[in-house]
Amino acid sequence: MGNKTLVLATFDNEASADAAAGALRDSKIAKGDAIGVLVLNDKGQIKTEKVGKRSVGKGAGIGLVLAVVTPVGAGAVVGGAALGALHHKNLGLKSGDRERIGKQLEDGKAALGVLAPVAEADAVSMKLAELGGTAEAHQTTDQALEEVQAAAPTQ
């Protein structure tokens, strides 16, 4: 068991996810946690936008974590590096979760992800719901975060 929870919330579009990310950061509920927005670009590839910290200590940065939650076929791209090998890492999501999230992104929605301490996950989820998102939490382990970091391609 780890001390981080991946809180994901889906929003109707990128603009509403970006606004929610800013409001969450400004609310201080996330207390500087890693925050990122995940959307499909005009070529159907996953793109992430980091809003919070660039890294989470010894674990993976939010961009890498969000790339791992996407379906393998989504053409995930973060910083120009293909992350196909990372899809085999388990961050508490089932393959059905990945497919569902991918489908929502294909339908024009955006996902907002927060890598929060376990003790703050409920507050983060409630705030994202207040901001108009549909939030869900996924427990992760320190080992899984370290594996994602280790498997990350170097740029």
Return all residues near 60 (Cβ < 8 A) that are at least 6 apart.
68, 145, 146, 148, 149, 152
- What pLDDT, on the 0 to 100 scale, is given for residue 132? 97
Whole-structure pTM value: 0.78
pLDDT of residue 64: 64
Give the pLDDT score at 17. Answer: 93
State residue 73's pLDDT score: 43
Residue 134 in this model has a pLDDT that exceeds 60? yes
Instruction: Give the tokens for residue 46.
Output: 């996953």
